[in-house]
Amino acid sequence: MLDRIRAGKNLPVPDYWRGTVDDVDEVLDQVTRGRVISLRTSAGGRLLRAVVYGSQAPLRRTANLNSAFGASLPRAYVDKTDRRPSLMLVGGAHGSEMEGIVGLVNLIHVMESGYDLLGRSWKSLLDLAEGVRLTILPCLNPDGRARVGLNSYVGESAETYRYWMQGTRRDGTLYSWPAVKEFHPIRDVGFLGGYFNDDHINPMHDDFFVNPCAEVRSLMELADREAPDLIALLHSAADSPFHFCSIAHLPPVHQEAIYSLSQRVKERMTEKGLPFAPFPDPRQQQKVYLEQFNLPRALHHHCGAATLTIESCAGIATDKEHLKLDWQQILDGHFILFEELLSSVKAEFHKYAQPFLSD
C-alpha cells in the first residue's frame, strides 16, 4: 500500500518544468546578467545560492532594525530615500513544494535571455523589472527537494502528496498538515518528508532567535543585507486555489499595499481562467491577536520588509474541475504573480518603504 502511494502516477513532466536541485544549480551556473551570491550550506551540505539583478544604493547603516526603531530613527537601519524599489522572491522553503522553484528557474531564464523555458518572450516583465533590485533565492531547502522522488504533483492523489510533503511515522502511517507541525524537530520518522531539511527541521517554523538552521540563517542574512521592500515566499497547497496567506503581522500601510496587489492578481488570474481565492480587505476585518509566528513574520521583524506567503495550486487529482491545473497553468499563475509583484513594489514603493524615507 505504502509503496503504491510512494510511487504515485509520476507523470512525465514537460521540458520547461525544471525544479530539481540540479536544475537550480544549472540555471545559476549559467547566470551572466545577474550576480550570483553564495550563502551557507544546508544541513545536508548543499550550497545555498541566490541571484541579484539591478544595482542598489549603499546602506550606510548605523544600527540594526530594532535599535533604529528604539532611537525613533528607522533610517539608521536603512535610508530608502535614494534606493531602488527592492523585491525578494524565495522558493522551496518546503523543499517538496517545487511549483515555486519551477517558476523561479523560469524567471531567471527570462532575466537572462528575455524568454522562459517555453520560448515565450516576456518583454513586459523585463520592463517592469527595470529600475528594481530583484533578488531570487530559488530553493531555500534543497535537502527537502532532493529527497522528493517526483518532479510534480499534477494528477497525483492526496495520499501521494502527503507522503512526499509531510512524510510518514515509523509505523508507516502518513503525517498530515498541519498536525505534522506538532513535532519540531520531527523524530518519529519512517520517511522524512520534503518539508524538512536533513536535520529534520521545518524552516518555516524554526527557532529564529536562539539557533536557527543554516537555511534560515542564510535567508535572514540575505534579507538583512538587501533590506528589501517586499519579500514573497512561494509555497503550494495541494488542490487549493492560488491565494495569499494572512498578513495580520504587518503594519496597516503594508496591508493596504498587499490588498491592492491581491486585487490585481485576482483580476488577472480570473481573466486567465486560473483559480484565486478572495483575499479579505484588512481594513474591514476585526482586529484579532495573531498567535502564529513563522518565517515571514520573523523576516518582517528582522529587516522591516513587507513579507507575504503565496500559495499555489499543485494540480493534484481532485473532483473540483476548476482546480485541475496542468503544468503550464501553474507556471502561468506564477508569471502573473511575478509581474504583479514587480509592478506593486514600484507603484507602491512609498508605502512599502515607510518609515525608511526622509520626510
Task: Give the residue-averaged pLDDT of 188-197.
Answer: 97
| Contact indicator for 161, 155 with CB cutoff of 8 Å | no
pLDDT of res. 286: 59
| Contact indicator for 141, 93 with CB cutoff of 8 Å | yes
Per-chain mean pLDDT for the chain: 96
Does the structure show a pLDDT above 60 at 288?
Answer: no
The string of pLDDT tens digits covering residues 263-281 is 999 999 999 999 999 998 8
Confidence of residue 289 (pLDDT cuts 50, 70, 90): low
| 3 state SS of 136 | strand
Closest CA to 244 of 207, 281, 202, 210: 281
Burial level of 173, CB count in 10 A (0-12/13-18/19+)?
exposed
Cα gap 322→85, rounded to integer Å: 35
pLDDT of res. 290: 62
Lateral strand order in the sheet of 243-244 = 35-41, 47-53, 133-137, 86-91, 230-236, 306-312, 243-244
Closest CA to 270 of 193, 333, 350: 333
| Contact indicator for 280, 202 with CB cutoff of 8 Å | no
Please report which residue ranges of 180-213 form alpha helices under DSSP H: none
The string of pLDDT tens digits covering residues 51-81 is 999 999 999 899 999 999 999 999 999 999 9
- CB neighbour burial string for 313-334, b if at least 16 within 10 angstroms, e if fewer: bbbbbbeeeebbbebebbbbbb
Does the structure show a pLDDT above 70 at 285?
Answer: no
| 3 state SS of 30 | coil
Task: State residue 151 phi and psi, 5-degree precision.
Answer: -100, -10
DSSP 253-316: HHHHHHHHHHHHHHHHHHHHT--B-----GGGSPP-------HHHHHHHHH--EEEEEEE----
Measure Cα distances from 273 to 196, 324, 333 in Å: 33, 11, 10
pLDDT of res. 292: 77
Cα gap 254→297, rounded to integer Å: 13
How far apart are the two ends of the chain, measured CA to CA in Å? 65
Closest CA to 131 of 88, 85, 87, 89: 85
| 3 state SS of 332 | helix
The string of pLDDT tens digits covering residues 117-126 is 999 999 999 9
Task: Give the residue-averaged pLDDT of 291-311.
Answer: 94
Proportion of the chain above pLDDT 90, given as a percent: 92
The string of pLDDT tens digits covering residues 79-116 is 999 999 999 999 999 999 999 999 999 999 999 999 99
Cα gap 25→222, rounded to integer Å: 18
pLDDT of res. 174: 96
The structural domains of the chain, ordered by start, are: 2-352 (3.40.630.10)
Cα gap 347→221, rounded to integer Å: 27
Which positions ≥6 away from 219 have C-beta within 8 Å?
90, 137, 140, 203, 295, 299
DSSP 151-188: S--TT--HHHHHHHHHBB-TTSPBP-TTGGGGSSS--S
pLDDT of res. 348: 98
Cα gap 324→183, rounded to integer Å: 32
Does the structure show a pLDDT above 80 at 49?
Answer: yes
Task: Give the residue-averaged pLDDT of 19-28.
Answer: 99
Closest CA to 351 of 260, 220, 265, 267: 260
pLDDT of res. 282: 84
